[in-house]
């Protein structure tokens, strides 16, 4: 059991103002593995006050001094990758080997790249007789999700702190233990008090208090579109800047000249990563209409290779969903797909045989899906693939863009120029060609209801800066 009875404010582990606690469950077996404080608005007030007080000194430090802390943090994340990967695997269910590689590896790499990005960033430039400076926005409230918990934290706090911001973090209450480990590392490294503050709790209390706080200069939020909309509404009263990375319903277009034997298994993997609990998952598979049956068979074969099981079982390729609530939600979508007339190719409702304890879902494939169906419109957040037929390239692009989201997508073709032409017409923040994947130095974010702003690389760094015009005298 990992019981955390204190939060981290102003360089100290302090009791929460409240006396409640939140249990953390292992989704593989539904056992309680720890607990964290149920934070309050008073906790947020204290954390924001600490961050505000620390901001003038931290932002005035030379860049190299701040980057020394960030580089030391990256080194510690790398050195403790196995510990971090194991902890997150137990918290949210990603199979252990993948968790160490992804859930621990990505945040270490993301943090490690920040220093080089910051050193190359033009914090000052001259435009005519004007000096333009880029300065830290101030106190940043970071509200992060459970699906890639530490990666989403580091994608926010590392660049924010590097450029001189101070932060108040609210991690997801579903998978918060990794954030407490991070706070321990930051404390051990001697970060100045108030630069990093951690308050755990529920969104409607702690999240809203952060978004509503008049001394928070910016909120960076990753999560559902519904919750992100609420954060923006609350923050609007103070004209607080809001960065949002929200939901997705990404389309993967298989052009008729693609190598289907490679493209279809690759596409199933792009849907099922992290048990489908990925905002950028390619959950709509668009294929030539006349090849629907062939694709359905290939997808079923690929889905059969995703062995479902506990996160600590070496044979598991697909772990559980994170919670009972998520399991219930995904079951409802699978049943809706059946009810609305999609062809269930494999998977379906209920738990896989022999896995009664834990939040396991059968890897599911639907064929003959119409883009108007619920399973093609709404974000499911589970291992559920919808195969949709199209008539020609223009039709495929129109179907792909016919969504309120625009986070990611894919194109497969043996003709590079053709695939690139299609990619450029997709209204989405990321497009993977022929199975290529995320570049953590390139901008990540979405169009439409998938959010505002970008994370990662210099684009992510820029989100935490204000531009100032200093007009110099003629002479």
φ, ψ of residue 362 to 5 degrees: the values are -70, 130
* CA–CA distance, 275 with 281 (Å, rounded to integer): 10
Q: Where in the chain is the domain with CATH 3.40.605.10?
A: 2-246+449-471
**Sign of torsion over alpha carbons 408, 413, 414, 418:** negative
φ, ψ of residue 201 to 5 degrees: the values are 160, -170
Q: What is the pLDDT of residues 341-378, one digit of tens each?
A: 999 999 999 999 999 999 999 999 999 999 999 999 99
The answer to whether residue 245 is catalytic is: yes
Mean pLDDT of 75-86: 98
pLDDT of residue 119: 98
Q: What is the pLDDT of residues 179-188, one digit of tens each?
A: 999 999 999 9
| CATH tag for 251-439 (out of 3.40.250.10, 3.30.300.130, 3.30.70.580, 3.40.309.10) | 3.40.309.10
- The first and second tokens of residue 124, run together, are 């000052």
The answer to whether residue 279 is catalytic is: yes
* CA–CA distance, 328 with 326 (Å, rounded to integer): 5
Q: What is the pLDDT of residues 107-165, one digit of tens each?
A: 999 999 999 999 999 999 999 999 999 999 999 999 999 999 999 999 999 999 999 99
DSSP string, 56-77: HHHHHS-HHHHHHHHHHHHHHH
Q: What is the pLDDT of residues 396-448, one digit of tens each?
A: 999 999 999 999 999 999 999 999 999 999 999 999 999 998 999 999 999 99
Burial (0-12, 13-18, 19+ Cβ within 10 Å), 246: buried
Q: Is the pLDDT of residue 475 over 80?
A: no
Residue (of 402, 403, 404, 375) closest to 387 by Cα position: 375
Averaged pLDDT score across all residues of the chain: 98
| Global pTM value | 0.97
Neighbours of 57 (CB within 10 A): 14
DSSP 206: I
Cα–Cα separations (whole angstroms), residue 365 to 278, 340, 375:
17, 15, 11
Mean pLDDT of 181-208: 98
Q: Of residues 279, 379, 462, 463, which has the active-site annotation? A: 279
On whether the CB atoms of residues 298 and 264 are closer than 8 A, the answer is yes
Neighbours of 1 (CB within 10 A): 8
Q: What is the pLDDT of residues 207-263, one digit of tens each?
A: 999 999 999 999 999 999 999 999 999 999 999 999 999 999 999 999 999 999 999
- The first and second tokens of residue 84, run together, are 């971090």
pLDDT of residue 1: 83
Confidence of residue 302 (pLDDT cuts 50, 70, 90): very high
Q: Which CATH class is domain 2-246+449-471?
A: alpha beta
pLDDT of residue 474: 86
Burial 293-319 (b: 16+ CB within 10 A, else e): eebbebbbebbeebebbbbbeeebbbb
Q: What percent of the chain has pLDDT over 90?
A: 99
On whether the CB atoms of residues 460 and 161 are closer than 8 A, the answer is no
| Count of positions (residues) in the chain | 475
Q: What is the pLDDT of residues 5-50, one digit of tens each?
A: 999 999 999 999 999 999 999 999 999 999 999 999 999 999 999 9
Burial 8-47 (b: 16+ CB within 10 A, else e): bbbbeeeebbeeebbebbbbbeeeebbbbbbbbbebbebb
Q: Where in the chain is the domain with CATH 3.40.309.10?
A: 251-439
Helices (H), 25-125: 41-60, 63-79, 81-92, 96-98, 105-120
Calculate the CA 193 to chain-centre distance. Answer: 27
Q: Is the pLDDT of residue 455 over 90?
A: yes
Q: Treating both helix axes as pointing N-terminal to C-terminal, what angle do 81-92 and 63-79 enclose, rounded to 10 degrees? A: 70
Q: Of residues 173, 208, 245, 463, which has the active-site annotation? A: 245
């Amino acid at each position: 059991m990992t019981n955390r009875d204190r939060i981290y404010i102003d360089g100290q582990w302090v009791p929460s103002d409240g006396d409640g606690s939140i249990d953390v469950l292992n989704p593989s077996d539904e056992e309680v593995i720890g607990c964290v404080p149920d934070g309050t608005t008073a906790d947020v007030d204290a954390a924001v006050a600490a961050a505000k007080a620390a901001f003038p000194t931290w932002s005035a430090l030379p860049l190299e001094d701040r980057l020394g802390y960030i580089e030391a943090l990256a080194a510690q994340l790398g050195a403790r990758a196995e510990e971090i990967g194991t902890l997150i695997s137990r918290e949210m269910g990603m199979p252990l080997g993948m968790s160490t590689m992804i859930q621990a590896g990505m945040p270490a790499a993301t943090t490690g790249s920040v220093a080089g990005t910051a050193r190359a960033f033009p914090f000052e430039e001259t435009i005519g007789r004007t000096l333009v400076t880029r300065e830290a926005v101030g106190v940043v409230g970071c509200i992060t999700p459970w699906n890639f918990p530490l990666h989403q934290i580091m994608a926010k706090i590392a660049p924010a702190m590097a450029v001189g911001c101070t932060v108040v973090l609210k991690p997801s209450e579903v998978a918060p233990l990794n954030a407490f480990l991070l706070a321990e590392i930051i404390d051990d490294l001697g970060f100045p008090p108030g630069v990093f503050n951690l308050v755990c709790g529920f969104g409607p209390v702690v999240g809203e208090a952060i978004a509503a706080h008049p001394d928070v200069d910016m909120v960076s939020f990753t999560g559902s579109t519904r919750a992100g909309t609420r954060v923006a509404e609350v923050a609007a009263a103070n004209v607080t800047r809001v960065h949002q990375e929200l939901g997705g319903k990404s389309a993967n277009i298989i052009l008729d000249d693609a190598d289907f034997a490679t493209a279809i298994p690759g596409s199933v993997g792009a849907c099922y990563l992290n048990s489908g609990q990925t905002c950028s998952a390619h959950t709509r598979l668009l294929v030539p209409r006349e090849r629907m049956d062939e694709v359905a068979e290939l997808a079923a074969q690929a889905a059969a290779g995703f062995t479902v099981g506990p996160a600590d079982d070496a044979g598991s390729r697909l772990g559980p969903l994170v919670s009972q609530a998520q399991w219930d939600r995904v079951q409802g979508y699978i049943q809706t797909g059946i009810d609305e007339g999609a062809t269930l190719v494999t998977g379906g409702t209920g738990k896989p045989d022999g896995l009664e304890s834990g939040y396991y879902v059968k890897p599911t494939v639907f064929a003959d899906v119409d883009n108007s169906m619920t399973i093609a419109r709404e974000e499911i957040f589970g291992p559920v693939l919808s195969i949709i037929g199209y008539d020609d390239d223009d039709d495929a692009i129109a179907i792909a863009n016919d969504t309120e989201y625009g986070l990611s997508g894919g194109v497969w073709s043996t003709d590079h120029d053709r695939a690139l032409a299609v990619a450029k017409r997709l209204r989405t923040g990321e497009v993977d060609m022929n199975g290529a994947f995320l570049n953590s130095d390139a901008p990540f974010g979405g169009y439409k209801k998938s959010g505002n702003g970008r994370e990662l690389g210099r684009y992510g760094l820029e989100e935490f800066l204000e531009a100032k015009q200093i007009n110099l005298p003629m002479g």
